[in-house]
Amino acid sequence: MYEKRHEPLLPKAEFLLRMLNHFWVASGIVVLSLFAGIAGYHYIEGLGWVDAILNSSMILGGMGPVNPISTRAGKLFASAYALFSGIVFLVIVGVLFAPVFHRFLHKFHLEFDEDTDKPLKGKKTGK
């Protein structure tokens, strides 16, 4: 998926395409997580569809629930969904920043020949 250490740095256009792909993956994770919350609030807590969307959006966004939770099953679901949402946030940050961190580290580790300024193919300099 990513270029190896001995391979040249990815061109900017391809890097931007990689960033776009990671954005779509992160967006898919958000949508799936939102649907899981909507279904849980609707079927477990018994909220209407609009209230279920509102509650799951607010929790996934880190704001907290809007409607009071009245059932024991709903409270357990809301607790689990809140913990899940925190983990989803960390996963999304990782997915979005992985290409940037990889590019930075790849650029940092490229070894250049002093005479030609071309990347060395797997050679180590001994420094």
User: Measuring CA to CA, how many Å separate 49 from each of 7, 98, 106?
Assistant: 51, 35, 47
Q: Is residue 25 part of a domain?
A: yes
Q: Is residue 52 part of a domain?
A: yes
H and E: helices and strands count for the chain: 3, 0
- How many domains does the chain divide into? 1
**How many CB atoms within 10 Å of residue 38?**
21
Q: pLDDT for 43-81, tens place per residue?
A: 999 999 999 999 999 999 989 889 999 999 999 999 999
Q: Is residue 125 part of a domain?
A: no
Q: pLDDT for 1-46, tens place per residue?
A: 777 777 777 889 998 999 999 999 999 999 999 999 999 999 999 9
CATH number, domain containing residue 26: 1.10.287.70
Which range marks the domain in which residue 31 is found?
A: 12-109
Q: Is residue 100 part of a domain?
A: yes
| Single pTM value for the model | 0.77
